[in-house]
Amino acid sequence: MIQYAFPKNFWWGAASSGPQTEGFFNKAHLNLMDYWFKKEPEVFFNRVGPDRASEFFTRYDEDLKLIKSIGLNSFRTSIQWTRLIDDFETGKVNKEGAAFYNKLIDAFLKHGVLPVINLYHFDMPLELFQKYGGWSGEKTVDLFVLFARAAFKLFGDRVKYWTVINEPMVQPEAGWLYGFHYPNYKGKGAEAVQIMHNLALASAKTIRAFREENIKGGEIGVILNLTPAYTASDSDEDKKAGAFADDFFNNSFLDPACAGVFPPALVETLKKDGVLWKAQDGENEIFQSGKVDFLGVNYYHPKRVAARKSPLPQELRSEWTPDVYFEEYDWPQKRINPYRGWEIYPKAMYDIAINIKNKYPGLPWYVSENGMGVEGEERFMDENGVIQDDYRIDFYKEHLIYLHKAIEEGSKCFGFHAWTAFDCWSWNNAYKNRYGYISVDLESQKRTIKKSGWWIKETAKNNGF
Ligand code: GAL
């Protein structure tokens, strides 16, 4: 019996990205991750880099067939700027890159998998970082739009669902605030704020360009990683800390994307602290006319915060940092995924869904990533080579139950994409934590459907469980 039935035409799918699956092959340029791996391979788990990844560049046809075989009706990947474009300044297309993405999209259609195509997944071209500071520079925003236009023109006849940027917040967070992605800066708050602004602007400008291209039946959105802030207590100080953390990490992208404005309280605080971004002339109008058609939400874990009581960590003291307004709070009752160190809190799925419904009435959205990374997953392999990942099935069910409840209450969620279909490369963690419905043996590149892959097949077939 189906206890949790999902809406008609629900997307049961998965997400991944170009830089995490394709491998380098004859890519036209290096992005920052390619460069970082060349420079410091030792910071990547087991020295495994993006150069080979899961060889999606050559295996895409069999992979899409497999994706279809486990019942998924849709799949997101991204086009790499560094593969599609020859000359970033003019947007001149690289022939081989275009040929690859053409074949890839045709394969989606051949196998009956809906392509959801993203345009940026942490893959800043090295040249643009060196020349313009990457997203710190205004110029990068306009060059990105050139690339996006090229993609719309080339593939808009077949791709109807586009997303501009994946998890924009991760760029300033990982590269400028907390130093876990190249260029590994810590506490560079003012520049991080400018990057946040520029990413939001790049998104709005790309959406406007998309509408000018008049893609028949096409829709466009962004993919945001939401980490709702739950506070240590209901005290005014803690609530203030929570509101700031929500504005800085979530609403800073949600509001411009869905409502065309930045959160007023955040703008006020940044202005008062002298770190508000430099805005472009006439940008209000750009944000107003560059709102999304739909939203994608990546949800992995919540954020727990309290008002700051302890002194700022040394490495964050040199400049402004958002951490002056909150500190992380260690919730004693938390459930942790021990393999990844992230809290598991399925109820946030419901809170996110209801928040979207209340804040942006009528906005269609989908879960664009949710998943559980597990280290050393081969220990769960049975004698037939199938990974018995019951923990992953439970993880998905728990999240889906909360999502279902929110849909029943009127949240307009039209799909659930898992991270991910087949195990892929995850930045510094490389292949440490596995997330797929399908396992990938790194030596032989052999793919094997995990127990969760068989489970999702059944779930998709029944449109629920
Ligand atoms: C997400 C990100 C993905 C993947 C995933 C699991 O935040 O969008 O690229 O790395 O985390 O680590």
DSSP assignment string, 26-91? T-SS-BHHHHHHHH-GGGSGGG--TTTTT-HHHHHHHHHHHHHHTT--EEEEE--HHHHEEETTTT
Pick the residue whose CA is nearest to atom 12 on ligand 1: 426
2 inside domain: no
Say yes or no: CB of residue 419 within 6 Å of ligand 1: yes
Residue minimizing CA distance to atom 2 of ligand 1: 167
| Ligand 1 proximity of 423 Cβ (cutoff 6 Å) | no
Strands 336-337 and 303-306: unpaired
**Could you tell me the residue range of the domain that residue 315 belongs to?**
11-462
Tokens of 415: 């799909």
Q: Give the per-residue pLDDT at 433.
A: 97
53-62, 175-184, 336-345, 417-426: the lowest-pLDDT one: 336-345
> Residue 425: CB within 6 Å of ligand 1?
no
Q: Whose CA is nearest to atom 10 of ligand 1?
A: 426
Q: Which residue has a Cα nearest atom 4 of ligand 1?
A: 426
Q: Which of 170, 419, 434 to mutate to test the pocket of ligand 1 (most atoms within 8 A of CB)?
A: 419
- Count of domains observed in the chain: 1
Three-state DSSP state, 406: helix
Which alpha helices (DSSP H) does 93-159 contain, by range?
A: 95-111, 126-132, 138-155
- Which CATH number goes with the domain that contains 245? 3.20.20.80
Residue whose C-alpha is closest to residue 359's, from 202, 164, 209, 224: 224
From the CA of 426, give the closest atom in ligand 1.
10
- Residue 306 pLDDT more than 90? yes
* Alpha carbon distance 246, 304 (integer Å): 10
Q: 24-50, pLDDT tens digit by residue?
A: 999 999 999 999 999 999 999 999 999
Residues whose CB falls within 8 Å of the CB of residue 414, separated by 6 or more in sequence, listed in order: 7, 9, 10, 11, 294, 364, 365, 366
CB of 225 within 6 A of ligand 1: the answer is: yes
Residue 225 lies in a domain: yes
pLDDT tens string 402-460:
999 999 999 999 999 999 999 999 999 999 999 999 999 999 999 999 999 999 999 99
Give the pLDDT confidence score for residue 341 in this predicted structure: 87
Q: What is the DSSP letter of 456?
A: H
Q: Is residue 3 part of a domain?
A: no
Q: What average pLDDT score do residues 133-145 get?
A: 98
Determine which residue's CA is closest to atom 6 belonging to ligand 1. 426
Angle, alpha carbons 257-260-263 (nearest 5°) = 90
Closest C-alpha among 194, 208, 196, 226 to residue 287: 208
CA of 121 to the centre of ligand 1 (A): 9
337 occurs within a structural domain: yes
Q: Is 53 left (phi over 0), alpha (psi -120 to 50) or beta?
A: left
Residue 369 Cβ < 6 Å to ligand 1: yes
Report how far residue 345's alpha carbon sits from residue 338's, in angstroms, rounded to the nearest whole number: 14
Q: How many Å lie between the centroid of ligand 1 and the Cα of residue 271?
A: 32
Atom of ligand 1 nearest to the CA of 166: 8
Residue 435 Cα: closest atom of ligand 1:
6
Half-sphere exposure at residue 375, Cβ-oriented, CA atoms within 13 angstroms: 11
Determine, yes or no, domain membership for 4. no
Gap from CA of 43 to ligand 1 centroid (Å): 17
Q: What is the pLDDT of residues 308-363, one digit of tens each?
A: 999 999 999 999 999 999 999 999 999 999 888 899 999 999 999 999 999 999 99
List, by residue number, the catalytic residues: 167, 369
For residue 13, the CA-to-ligand 1 centroid distance in Å is 16
What ligand 1 atom has the least distance to the C-alpha of 223?
Answer: 8
**pLDDT tier at 376, thresholds 50, 70, 90:** very high
Atom number in ligand 1 closest to CA 20: 9
Overall pTM surpassing 0.85 (yes/no): yes
- Kindly state whether residue 281 falls inside one of the protein's structural domains: yes
